[in-house]
């Protein structure tokens, strides 16, 4: 089953200084408002910490405290 699932998954990789949006996991709880934003952003990728964990920075240069998994990121197109 795992090999069949893995064939259909598109792994997305990001490069340094790319603009991304971050998925807000805290909005997954019950009671999410219909028009509340699920994505936070835009952030700049500083560097890759582990295999798919990234350090993000705000546009003003302030880095986020914790690394973010690549599964919770998507490209931002201004």
pLDDT for 63 equals 92
* Cβ-Cβ contacts under 8 Å for 70 (sequence gap 6 or more): 12, 13, 14, 52, 53, 54
Task: Please give the tally of structural domains in the chain.
Answer: 1
pLDDT for 43 equals 94
20 within a domain of the structure (yes/no): yes
pLDDT for 70 equals 86
The answer to whether the beta carbons of residues 12 and 69 sit under 8 Å apart is no
Residue showing tokens 């003003």: 60
Q: Which helix (H) or strand (E) holds 4?
A: helix 2-8
Using DSSP's 3-state secondary structure scheme, residue 68 falls into strand
> Which residues span the domain enclosing 42?
11-75
Between CA 44 and CA 16 the distance in angstroms is 8
pLDDT for 51 equals 79
| Residue pLDDT, tens place only, 6-62 | 777 666 778 888 899 988 877 666 556 677 778 888 999 998 888 788 999 999 989
pLDDT for 27 equals 65
CATH number of 17's domain: 2.30.30
pLDDT for 10 equals 64
């Amino acid at each position: 089953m795992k090999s069949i699932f893995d064939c259909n998954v598109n792994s997305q990789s990001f490069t340094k200084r790319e603009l991304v949006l971050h998925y807000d996991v805290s909005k997954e709880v019950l009671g999410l408002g219909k028009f509340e934003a699920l994505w936070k952003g835009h952030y700049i990728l500083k560097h890759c910490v582990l295999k798919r964990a990234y350090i993000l920075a705000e546009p003003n240069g302030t880095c986020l405290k914790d690394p973010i998994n690549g599964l919770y990121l998507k490209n931002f197109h201004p």
